[in-house]
Structure 1
Amino acid sequence: MAIGTFTRPDIDEDRIRRLVHGFYGAVQADPLIGPVFQREIAHERWPVHLEKMCAFWSSVLLRTDRYDGRPLSPHLRMPDLSDEHFQRWLELFRRTAHETFETKSAAVVIGFAQRIAQSFRMSIAFHRGGDISSVRPLS
């Protein structure tokens, strides 16, 4: 599949589904961000959330039109969301991406996740009245 200037044949709907389900399985078990997700997403809503996230990542990685939503909005409504949460989110995402994709494809997928996390963090800082120029990328 074409992604920017990259062609990564192992990035497909099946692997995106594996990425999303594997990642959110790790999220739910995580002691730091698991409780945040459990608080925000009712148990019976998880299947809907997972399908929405599969559509989101399909739209990001494959340039499909499957996702129609505003992913930032729910994050803006969480006053306790911090860089520590985003750092852990990225750690779990990186690990799952490496388990799901070949090395070069994992790097492409992780690159998108890092840019999304940075964009969300800057938007949250702006929304909270903070100085967005001080929001540095997470490692």
Structure 2
Amino acid sequence: MADASQSSNERLHVDTDRLKPAIDKLQDLASQLKAAGRQLDDTCQAYGPAWGEDSTGEKFYGQYEGPHSQLITSAYQGSSGFRDSADQVGDMVAVFEGVEQQAGDQGRHLKASIDPQGQQNPPSGPTA
């Protein structure tokens, strides 16, 4: 949350070099969570139905199926969320690095337009 009293003259520092490994970690977590969901689903499918075809089996299935499906779905959605977050952090890093590059370019351009005595050089080009 930004502080409303923060001055626009304050320096903003974002350590993009420290953010980049976080992107890889988020992508790794996404892959692990997706694999865990897939493995759970595959293992459950391999065992087959864990209930009988009687009234007790139907009651068990009624209590089992919803949470089981929600768990599998949550694993896939969580994986997708981690991957989306990694992509968003990557986009943010690219933007911050682009802003830093542009600021550096502008600073070098401004420095080149000022002579050693601190006077601004006149613009080059034809005069009227």
TM-score, structure 2 as length reference: 0.30
Higher RCO (CA-CA < 8 Å; seq separation 6+)? 2
Q: Highest CA radius of gyration, 1 or 2?
A: 2
